[in-house]
Structure 1
Amino acid sequence: MISVGRRFAAALTSGIAVAGTVYVATGLAFFTSNGAAAENLPAIAEYFLPMALVLFVTYSIVSALEIHRYWFTAAVVGLVLGMVSAIAGTALGIIATGAELNAEAFTFIVATLLGTNLIFVVVTIIAAVTVGRRVWNALTVVPAQPTQLIALVRAPSSQLGEGELTHLDRVPVDAELADSQWEGYVAALRANGFETIEVPAADELADSVFIEDTVVVFGEVAVLTSPGAESREAEIEAVRVSVTELGLELHEITQPGTLDGGDVLKVGSTVYVGRGGRTNAEGIRQLRAIVSPLGYSLIAVPVEKVLHLKSGVTALPDGTVIGYPDLVDNIDLYDRFLAVPEAEGAAVVVLSDDAVLMSSSAPKTAALIADLGYRVVTVDVSEFEKMEGCVTCLSVRIR
């Protein structure tokens, strides 16, 4: 967003640039068309000065309102302001001579639009489309900065082992080892260019480390989810605060809709959403209504064999969907599918165009992906895998 001071300065500068250009160009046109006689200069300068002053004021106002943003609106602005300035400026010139501004004078003023002042109107249109817009953009458009990689993370609860389970039998979880593995995971993100932002930990929320389920990000738009497990509903509020502080446009899935972020797989402009135990039809409908205007196509995918869609499939940087066939319900739904040899290898986090992060529990899959020309970073997340988690669950990546 442009600050008020910057907008004001840019508007005034644009006004000066347009009015000055029109004043000089129109004056020179009349000077040369009248034989370039030096004695004519004062009269020409005096005649067009009131018009230029009116143009400066009106164009500055238009600039501040950004009505001239597009070339065609700038052309309309030039036409309207050229005529207004020519009429008002000529009227001021007549008043300055002490003459009465009556019906006859007004008829004369209007007639000048097809005669003496026509060149002023034409030059104003050209200047508004070219000079005005270029000066405005030069003063207001901030050069694009390199894309900043951000990852939201949340430290594990000491009660991680008491979290929700759907497809796996419960086994003991080593909380201290989970803490150590989480720190290694965060360190791997940082080592690969991500700035990590920690959402405040919540020890009373056993599954809160799986932050991916709470929010899905589409460019500058963040969609807060509606967890399918009632025990996880309280995870949303702290994430809402962090997302708001990042300045993202906020949307939200509301009851009776349910949606877990682990069920959302983005592949280019296609969004696959798992319809399973945690995400229902209403949640998918609400997400479709949010992302369709953003240019995304949403494809609903039935999920029965795993907790979340991304427990069974994820995608490589080139868009190839990978998965462990025994855990994939509908392989034919994906345009390009690559089978991997280990269940733990189905989940990868895209770090860059040529690098992925994955679990060290899947060495055969790591070798397969490396053989495709990718740099593979592995981390130990075994304690989270006991709770049906994976590398994608532990962060929300924002690009």
Structure 2
Amino acid sequence: MFKNAIVRIPGHSVIDGIDDYAQLGKPNFDKARQEHADYVKALESLGVTVTALPPLETMPDSCFVEDPAVVSTGKFAVITSPAKASRNPERDEILPAIQQIYDPDHIFYINAPATMEGGDVMQVGNTIYIGLSARTNQAGINQFKEIAEPFGYTVIAVPVKRVLHLKTGVTYMGNNKLLVSGEYIDYPTFSDFDQLKVPADEAYAVNCIANGNTVLMPAGFPKVKQLLADAGFNITEAHMSEFEKIDGGLTCLSLRY
């Protein structure tokens, strides 16, 4: 479980966020701001204390705070190295918030030419799965491994072929339950998990946030909602239509610790 989260309020520039996959048109700014505000309320309803950072108009994708930093272990933080040039300045902008949580000797950095984005990092206990994707290269995984192993973590690389990030295709729900879609259904690396298989027509909803026995999921996906309910989860929904248009999901919008 997590008790705290960091978010960044989207600026008007969010309408120009990167869209490499969705191809659903530009976001509506007013609707995006409302969805983000409702997302914060949903986190708070789970008993989470949320710190909201101000908008960054020069960085359209900066509301996706999960990508420029990794804080999930609780033992250390990593400032990542986003692959897209427009996103790399987000490293410096997220750092002050991370410095409020971690001592300097527990903050580490992924350095170019290595690339890494937090959307590719999925922690399950003392194992950290990292997507080898269009946004995270092998050098990035190697650097993260050098950071994580002294803290007792095992790092496993997972190829990402059809989606943006690892957590675009698989998210951990706790209690050995894994929400999986597409290329990760019956994937050998995850064979020891209890797989909750998301149907192809609701694949976007694989990106959920579990906090104890409650799951925050995107609104409008009844099959996944039933799948989670059958697995014994309490469900909270949040509308994500405008962030879906710029390749964003629920986990992307917060750093949880």
Range into which the TM-score falls when normalised by the shorter chain = over 0.9
CA contact (8 A) 2:3 2:47 kept: yes
Matched, 1:321 2:178: yes
- CA, structure 1 residues 330+290, in 2 after alignment: closer, same or farther (shift >3 Å)? farther
The CA deviation at 1:360 is: 0.6
Name the amino acid aligned to 1:340.
V
Query: What are the residue-to-residue correspondences of 1:96-115 with 2, within 5 Å?
Result: none
Q: 2:43 maps to what in 1?
A: 189
- CA spacing shift, 1:161–1:148, aligned 2, 3 Å: closer
Q: Secondary structure at the match of 1:289?
A: helix
Q: Is the 8 A contact 2:16 2:26 kept in 1?
A: no
- SS state at 2:174 partner: coil
Mapped pair 1:149 → 2:7: no
Q: Which amino acid letter does the alignment assign opposite residue 350 of structure 1?
A: A
Whether the 8 Å contact between 2:132 and 2:158 is mirrored in structure 1 is yes
Alignment match, 2:102 = 247
Shift of residue 330, structure 1, vs aligned partner? 7.4
Aligned residue among 64, 68, 92 for 1:214: 68
Select which of 150, 154, 165 maps to 2:19: 165
2-side partners of 1:255 and 1:330: how far apart? Answer: 34
User: Aligned AA for 1:239?
Assistant: I
Q: Distance in 2 between matches of 1:262 and 1:330?
A: 21
Q: Is the 8 A contact 1:361 1:382 kept in 2?
A: no
Q: Give the distance between the partners of 1:330 and 1:373, measured in 2 at CA.
A: 21
Query: What is the match of residue 197 of structure 2?
Result: 339
Contact 1:268 1:319 in 2 (8 A): no
Q: Distance in 1 between matches of 2:181 and 2:160?
A: 14
Shift of residue 202, structure 1, vs aligned partner:
0.2
Counterpart of 1:345, as a letter, is A
**What is the CA–CA distance in structure 1 between the aligned matches of 2:204 and 2:220, rounded to whole Å?**
6
* Alignment-mate amino acid for residue 26 of structure 2: P
Write the distance in 1 (CA, Å) between the matches of 2:2 and 2:213. 17
Secondary structure of 2:20's counterpart equals: coil
- TM-score with structure 1 length normalisation? 0.60
Note the C-alpha offset of 1:361: 2.8
- Compare the two structures and name the one with the higher strand fraction: 2
1:230 and 2:85 aligned? yes
Q: Distance in 1 between matches of 2:226 and 2:185?
A: 25
The range that moved more, 273-282 or 158-167, is: 158-167
Quote the Cα distance in structure 2 between the aligned partners of 1:183 and 1:150.
16
Contact 2:205 2:221 in 1 (8 A): yes
Decide which of 42, 56, 70 is 1:202's aligned counterpart: 56
Query: Is 1:388 the equivalent of 2:247?
Result: yes
Rg larger in structure: 1
Listed as ranges, the gaps of 5+ residues in structure 1 are: 1-146
> What's 2:114 paired with?
257
8 Å Cα contact 2:196-2:227 kept in structure 1: no
Q: Deviations over 1:126-169 (max 9, x none)?
A: xxxxxxxxxxxxxxxxxxxxx97110100112121212222232
SS of match in other structure, 1:377: strand
CA deviation vs aligned residue, 1:218-274 (integer Å, no higher than 9, x gap)? 213111100011110111112100110123421111111110000001111111101
Identity of aligned residues (%): 36
Tell me whether 1:179 sits opposite 2:38 in the alignment: no
d(CA) in 2 for partners of 1:294 and 1:247? Answer: 15
Counterpart amino acid of residue 224 in structure 2: T
1:70-111, Cα deviation, whole Å (9 max, x unpaired)? xxxxxxxxxxxxxxxxxxxxxxxxxxxxxxxxxxxxxxxxxx
SS at match of 2:157: strand
Q: Residue 188 of structure 2 aligns to which amino acid in structure 1?
A: D
Conserved? CA contact 1:210–1:394, under 8 Å: yes
Q: Which residue of 2 aligns with 1:28?
A: none
1:308-364 deviation line (CA, Å, top 9, x unaligned): 110111011213221222x5387221121321122122111122x211111013221
SS in 2 for 1:212: coil
- Runs of 4+ off more than 4 Å: none
Query: What amino acid sits opposite 1:363 in the alignment?
Result: P
Structure 1 residues 314 and 227 mapped into 2: Cα distance closer, same or farther (>3 Å)?
same
| Alpha-carbon separation, structure 2, partners of 1:367 and 1:165 | 29
1:300 counterpart (132, 138, 157):
157
Measured on the aligned residues, the alpha-carbon RMSD in Å equals 1.6
| Residue-by-residue CA offset, 1:37-74 (whole Å, 9 max, x unaligned) | xxxxxxxxxxxxxxxxxxxxxxxxxxxxxxxxxxxxxx
